[in-house]
Amino acid sequence: MIIVGVGVGPKMLTQEAIEVISNAPVVYGSRRSIELAQEFIKCESHLIKDYKKLHLLPEDAVILSTGDPMFSGLGKFATENDRVVTGVSSIQAACARFHVEMSNLALITAHGRDPAPAKEAFIREISLGKNIFLLPAESFGPKEVATILQEMNVDARICIYEDIGYPYERAACGTVDEPPENHSDMYCIVIVR
């Protein structure tokens, strides 16, 4: 199979992704990923019902993954015989939006999983002086990040980026004492020391 990143929002497909999708014999993905790539899909498309059964899909199937497949995406299901095509990630979009250099950035995800390991990683990476990119969980968002930073006596700028690429996208920054509030469930957090 070929796992293709469709980008974090509209108009964020790479040229390579467009070519692969346009030439696909069959496409599978979430409703959102299919919507993001719809104008380039020239074959049958199907919603993925069980992500643990991706290995049962046809060998030449194109599997769409939002953002970049290798960060909290479907790339984790790829075998050494599968191809993975990168996509524009929320990491790239947020760093560009907030002018954050990526070389001192720790990447952490709590998205769709138990947030405890993400909280541990967050504390560890902040202790090392790193800036953080975080895909949050419902119970680990800007307020929880601010609380941890206060407890650690770390001053930082906390930024959120919501609905990236959509006409209603929103970027907001705050402080440890006054963190920004998210209005959408589709967002990321950047902590800049």
pLDDT in tens, 127-141: 999 999 999 999 999
Burial of residue 138 (CB within 10 Å: 0-12, 13-18, 19+) is: exposed
Cα–Cα distance measured from residue 130 to residue 3, given in angstroms and rounded to the nearest whole number: 31
pLDDT recorded at residue 112 = 82
Structural domain spans, the chain: 2-88, 91-192
- Which residues contact residue 112 at a Cβ distance below 8 angstroms, ignoring those fewer than 6 apart? 72, 137
φ and ψ of 106, to 5 deg: -95, 135
Cα–Cα distance measured from residue 103 to residue 20, given in angstroms and rounded to the nearest whole number: 30
Is residue 113 very low, low, confident or very high in pLDDT (cuts 50, 70, 90)?
confident
Q: Which CATH architecture has domain 2-88?
A: 3-Layer(aba) Sandwich (3.40)
pLDDT recorded at residue 176 = 98
Cα–Cα distance measured from residue 144 to residue 116, given in angstroms and rounded to the nearest whole number: 12
Cβ contacts of 31-40, under 8 Å, gap ≥ 24 = 32/66, 33/6, 33/64, 33/65, 33/66, 34/64, 36/6, 36/7, 36/9, 36/10, 36/12, 36/64, 36/66, 37/4, 37/6, 37/13, 37/64, 40/13
The whole model's pTM is what? Answer: 0.91
pLDDT in tens, 9-43: 999 999 999 999 999 999 999 999 999 999 999 99
| DSSP letter assigned to residue 49 | S
| pLDDT of 86 above 90 | yes
Q: Which CATH architecture has domain 91-192?
A: 2-Layer Sandwich (3.30)
pLDDT in tens, 126-183: 999 999 999 999 999 999 999 999 999 999 999 999 999 999 999 999 999 999 999 9
